[in-house]
Amino acid sequence: MNVHQSISDQLFDLVGNTMAVFMVYLFVEANLSRLPQRVSRPVILTAVYCGLTLLALSMGVEVMPGVLMDPRFGIVVAATLTLGWRSGLAVGLCAGAVRLAAGGVGAVPGSLGVVLAWAGTWMCLVWHQRAEVRSTDGALPLWVVVVSSLMGALAPVMGLLWLAQARGLSVDSDLFVAIGLAQFVVAVLLWLAIALTTSRTQALLDLQQSNQALLQSFRQTIAALASAVLHRDPGAATHQRRVAALAVAVGQKLGLSGLRLEGLEMAALIHDIGQIEIPVEILSRPGLLTDAELGLVRLHPQMGYEILKDVSTPWPLAEIVYQHHENLDGSGYPRQLSGDAILLEARILRVCDIVEAMSSHRAFRPAVGLKQALDELRQMSGKQLDPQVVQACLALFERDGYQLPGV
């Protein structure tokens, strides 16, 4: 760029550089979630803005010997408007130091100019706060942005005027217009682009926090239901916790992860919640049950479904609980489901339920033992039980040395 270029060419060059700076900002902000959480977001973004001033200077165009035009002024204005006066000051001082280090006849006025751009923006923010005219959605009023951008445009013009008088330079009047107008456009565009991006990012963060709070509420609901079983039948609660631990390990072996794995754990922790409807005398009585009593016990998956069906969660907990005694060949209960009609989570629970039940003492029989439980899985594999789930469970115990927790 030189003094003989048209104003439109100068605007185009500076705006193009500004958009390149913004693309770098956009890339960095998109990856902020990967940075250590112990560093606050405003501190990271302040550092990003400081880095952008370095990039802006490297993209600067010499409009006259020793005088550069670049988006630094717009960056300082945008940083102050989006992050506040302290971060803006840090960015302004960084931009000034960078320009001073670059040297040239425009180093001093250029350095003072960026600080002046910050000061003008800061005064606009102060006036705004005293006037207390913030919009209902918390956004800055348009006049604050416009006036701040004008301050950012005035700073380099004043620096150029001072340089022209001090050095006796002859400066084309078109250059003053080009610099002032270009810096104004740069400041407005940069603030608008970054503000929209920041608003979107904040909305996503708010949504994530809301989802986390909702998940925590779901976990507390499940914990409350599991606690109800604990108070009524400590043995059943221990069984559910051991099944849950084994189910998670099997689920991981099968490649489940994230929210689905958590849903499997939640379902396992309450898979026998329906037994709360069955008299404890039946559940804890030694000896064999009558056919009528056995029929009542076999209703507990359906009873669990009735308890959970209206509990809103991200997982199909009610259906998993309903299906956890179904067999692959249709010989299970209570609905005689078969094949793919049985959810994978329910198939996993079926296997884990058998292993834990046979490995543990019950009122009506002593523990059978883990070895016999695993042999039982082999016999049922491909018939009543999902063979892939069985293989994953066997690998856990026989190859990985897994042990049921003593909870």
pLDDT averaged per 10 residues in sequence order, the chain, 407 residues: 49 68 72 67 83 79 71 82 86 87 80 85 80 53 76 77 72 67 71 64 62 69 68 72 94 90 91 83 73 86 90 88 95 94 96 90 68 93 95 94 80
381 by DSSP, 3-state: which? strand
Largest CA distance in the chain: 111
For position 392, what pLDDT does the model report?
96
**What dihedral angle (degrees, nearest 10) is formed by the CA atoms of 262, 266, 269, 272?**
-140
Determine the Cα–Cα distance for residues 31 and 35; give it in Å rounded to an integer.
7
The pTM of the whole model exceeds 0.75: no
For position 8, what pLDDT does the model report?
57
331-to-149, 295, 300 alpha-carbon distances in Å: 75, 15, 17
Listed in order, strand segments (DSSP E) in 65-128 are 67-69
The answer for residues whose C-beta is within 8 angstroms of residue 43's C-beta and 6 or more apart is none
For position 391, what pLDDT does the model report?
96
Determine the Cα–Cα distance for residues 241 and 274; give it in Å rounded to an integer.
16
Closest CA relative to residue 333, chosen from 298, 309, 366: 298
For position 135, what pLDDT does the model report?
46
The answer for residues whose C-beta is within 8 angstroms of residue 172's C-beta and 6 or more apart is 3
Determine the Cα–Cα distance for residues 78 and 117; give it in Å rounded to an integer.
10
Determine the Cα–Cα distance for residues 161 and 37; give it in Å rounded to an integer.
46
Indicate the burial class of 272 (C-beta count within 10 angstroms; 0-12, 13-18, 19 or more): buried
For position 385, what pLDDT does the model report?
96
Quick count: other Cβ atoms within 10 Å of Cβ 103? 10
Angle CA 76–82–85, to nearest 5 = 65
